Amino acid sequence: MFKPTASPKKMLGAAALLATSAFMLTACVSNAPAESAPTTGAPAAAAAAGSNAEEGKKVTIGFSVPAADHGFMAAMTDLAVETAKEYPDVELKVAEGTNDVSVQISQVETMINDKVDAIVLLPFDGAALTQVAQKAMDAGIPVINVDREFSTAQSSRVTVLGDNYGVGVSAGDFICKELDGKKDAKIGEIPGIDSLPLTQDRSRGFKDALKKCGLEVSNRVPAEFTVESGEKAASNLLQAAPQLDAIWNHDDDQGVGVLAAIKAADRDEFFMVGNGGSANMMREIQSGDSVVKATTVYPAYQAADGVRVARLVAQDKALGDLLDIEIPREIVLYAAVVTKENVEKYLPTAFES
């Protein structure tokens, strides 16, 4: 169950501050005072959009995500619900979380029939939900695609993502730096669900980063984003590799099981890097006596950001600090690395596994 280390409102505020370089955009950003801004052209158009915090027309947003069967997904749902409560002009219709693709498709079809103003959709399987998302778009209902991408960009109005390739690069760069030129280092990797494009992107980023310092993955065993699968995958990895220098685990929730397997095997000759940004992994880092030395941030507030974006799209508003009078097509959140040196900064935004 999701238990934020700070209140959801405070957590979201901190999360917003942490999203440095969050938008992979080419548009200019202006934070100049209104009196110094030009009164014609694009800046005037952006100013005309008004304050996004001001109450606007009432909008109904449909919300569907996979089952909250681990901390990250529970955080996704809880933060989205809390965010919607901040806006009196938003009614959030939350479908029950499900890992059944056919059920999730049915949920979206119901939202289409109900003529909601926008849909925030984190698909269990992006490819499988692409067609129904396109159906919503064709019906004039903007879809905000969160986390797991559809097969085509046209099936959503906006995509809000963690930086999957980026977390792989960040993890690989950290490992390269820590190993400091050790060319014969043995690197283990425990990905999540291997069939998902996001997992493939993470592994590709990791491989590319390691290549820059002359390293490569020597042992790789996939898990399924759960504690149980993490423990099983880690046990198999440790049995196959009697000596390791570092492990990158793709998901902090499954990392709970990974750590259990490491403890059971009584192994500590390596260090581990996680991914996700869970509070328990940050506390491991904070302790200074764990094999966990870092974790990369894959924000659990993506769906909450999706709700905010859906509200703006449905109300025909833009992002206040951009000159563009439309919401961007894609928002990619930054893949920061949390270490003992900066963990205090990131802990308030963390979720409990």
Confidence of residue 284 (pLDDT cuts 50, 70, 90): very high
Instruction: Give the CA count within 13 Å in the CB-facing half-sphere of 216.
Output: 1
Residue 293's contacts (CB-CB under 8 Å, 6 or more residues apart) are 174, 178, 271, 272, 273, 285, 339, 340
Whether residue 220 has pLDDT greater than 50 = yes
Among 203, 199, 220, 196, CA closest to 168: 203
Look at residue 111 and give its three-state secondary structure.
Answer: helix
Cβ-Cβ contacts under 8 Å for 122 (sequence gap 6 or more):
64, 65, 66, 76, 145, 146, 147, 148, 302, 303, 306
> The domain 164-297+340-349 is classified under which CATH number: 3.30.300.30, 2.10.109.10, 3.40.50.2300, 3.40.30.10?
3.40.50.2300
Nearest to 265 by CA among 290, 286, 291, 239: 239
What single letter denotes the amino acid at residue 172? G
**3 state SS of 350:** coil
pLDDT of residue 53: 85
Enter the DSSP assignment of 225.
Answer: S
Residue 334 pLDDT > 60:
yes
**How many Cα atoms are found within 13 Å in the side-chain-facing hemisphere of 133?**
31
Residue 309 — very low, low, confident or very high, per pLDDT cuts 50/70/90? Answer: very high
- Average pLDDT of the chain? 88
**Lowest-confidence segment of 4-8, 28-32, 90-94, 244-248 by average pLDDT:** 28-32
* Start-end of CATH 3.40.50.2300 domains in the chain: 22-161+300-332, 164-297+340-349
C-alpha closest to that of 306 among 137, 120, 142, 162: 120
pLDDT of the residue at 14: 46
Distance separating alpha carbons of residues 258 and 262, to the nearest angstrom? 6
Quick check: 210 and 217 in contact, CB under 8 A?
Answer: yes
What is the CATH T-level fold of the domain 22-161+300-332, as seen in this structure?
A: Rossmann fold (3.40.50)
d(CA 59, CA 84): 11
Question: According to the model, what pLDDT value does residue 38 have?
Answer: 38
- Could you give the 3-state DSSP secondary structure of residue 164? helix
What would the two tokens of residue 269 be? 């000759």
**Whole-angstrom Cα distance, residue 170 to residue 105?**
34
Instruction: Note the pLDDT of residue 322.
Output: 87
Q: What are the phi and psi torsion angles at 135 (to 5°)?
A: -60, -40
Q: How far is CA 98 from the centre of its chain?
A: 18
